Structure 1
């Protein structure tokens, strides 16, 4: 596969690129579809704006049909699967391009099934995100001040959209846009219980470690440690302290402009860096704490030679991976290990 990619990039000008032969199209499940199922059960909310949901569903479906039509025209094999039905066996070794049709959430969910083994080199298919229903220009103006919010998916992880897919997607499948492929680093999460160890899917954006109830206090101990677990008293990057807060964000450089920035983190980071950024949310500093130390260490970065360890000290907890769809419940005493040593992801990107 790597050899084929090299040939594609080195193809002489004027000849047709080898391109991507086996394409997997992952399609989001729209709110209209979800609420329609609830309506049949008599559980749909009364205040739903059905016409608005139906219009956005129609826009999405039209985009899906266009993408599938283009893919079937350009590739040898095309498989279409719903985001909710996607599983590991769909993303096998023969799939060389995964097209995510929806928004950023669909890209993130799809990426969880692209090789999760620890490695410095990315494996698995290249990911191409297509924003199926981008926000219109008139909807962006004063969106937060309106009584109704018309914003749609931001599409920050999407290389194409419903507006330009007829031009972008065929060229991407033919291998003509490979120069736009970036290697994005992801973070690895391992959860150690008293009797088990669970490795979570790699996160492309961020993780949240918190109590399942947003009103409850998250109690945990936060350590930044060397990967070899050999403590060094002269290492300023090592620390350990107890936390009472509303949780802990950890993000990759890709996720630095999302919730991390909204929570007060640093969004001006190099997208090509492997360093992770962490931020303790709403830290409750006690009268017996070293306030200056705790404030200083409540937000920072972790390089590839270190990792974070969270010792969960509450009865209930949860680790959320790239949003709320993928989560793992924590118990008192569980340890959450977070590092930058997940396999990178190759994704078409407009970010330079």
Structure 2
């Protein structure tokens, strides 16, 4: 059997700048609740580091060649590997997805899962939530078993949809796995734009919808459980190729408010809906500046007045080993 080549993508474990004394203890704080927060953050840092060490120890026993890289150091497309293993949470997996095509599978290891008992115990002191890991198939508890199944071809990756994004007919190199947000860089500034849904052949399209709001969010099926759900959207089947869109906090005229109150106008002026696989969404931007935030705040593309943004599910799929609960 040929040696498999793996890339480990690691979430930084020193993300919380806690000052340490020379005797090894953490900085003193007078408020007990603040101390509990520091302990929680220090615990998260240690768990992440322990998880990375554990996974690397497992890999040393396997017939594989592997290289580890910190998430922030990954700046170019991933090539010449058979598997990408992310150790962190959904953020690390999302970051990896921006650098792989449809030929390299990804396995997410949730290094620090949320413990419900801990959240309940400290609910009056600190938000003790840890990592959701919605798309992560493994934890340290089952990583070796899942890895063995992959190496022995007993487990196959799933194919899930990503979002293709173009600005003025030029494709962006990054495909969204979760969602995008198109908005003014200042959250207090009104975003002005129009959009319509177009058939892939270009022969038919929906009426043009004019919006003044705090932005436009569009999600894939994988991202429908994140910000879209929090905003009142729907959870989509993980293998759906639809996109879901929602105008954020639309400013409605008195005429529109009257129509909506009486149950009319919803179909003609949809603020929340879906883009089918044979359709695309065309957005015309009418503000001086704006940003397309892709899968969070760290990856974005600048737009300006007059730009045309086109969105569809026609991007290359992502090969991913999904947790059993999503299959």
State TM-score, norm by structure 2.
0.86
- 1:287-308, CA deviations, whole angstroms, 9 ceiling, x for partnerless residues? 3546543575111111111111
Aligned counterpart, 2:100: 114
Structure 2 unmatched runs, 5+? 20-28
Aligned counterpart, 1:119: none
CA contact (8 A) 2:40 2:128 kept: no
Aligned counterpart, 1:299: 272
Give the C-alpha shift of residue 160 in structure 1.
0.5
The answer on 1:189 being equivalent to 2:165 is yes
Show the 5 A alignment for 1:330-349: 330-349=303-322
Structure 1 unmatched runs, 5+? 1-17, 38-45, 116-122, 233-237
CA contact (8 A) 2:119 2:127 kept: no
- 1:286-343, CA deviations, whole angstroms, 9 ceiling, x for partnerless residues? 1354654357511111111111111111112111111111111221111111000000
DSSP 3-state at the match of 2:208:
strand
CA contact (8 A) 1:208 1:248 kept: yes
Aligned counterpart, 2:25: none
Show the 5 A alignment for 1:1-352: 21-30=4-13, 32-33=14-15, 35=17, 49-89=37-77, 91-92=78-79, 94-115=80-101, 123-141=102-120, 146-178=124-156, 181-192=157-168, 197-231=170-204, 238-267=206-235, 269-289=236-256, 291=260, 292-293=264-265, 297-350=270-323, 351-352=326-327
Aligned-residue CA RMSD in angstroms? 2.4
Aligned counterpart, 1:13: none
CA contact (8 A) 1:187 1:252 kept: yes
Distance 1:216 1:349, change over 3 A: same
The number of equivalent residue pairs is 306
State TM-score, norm by structure 1.
0.80
Give the C-alpha shift of residue 204 in structure 1.
1.1
Give the C-alpha shift of residue 164 in structure 1.
2.5
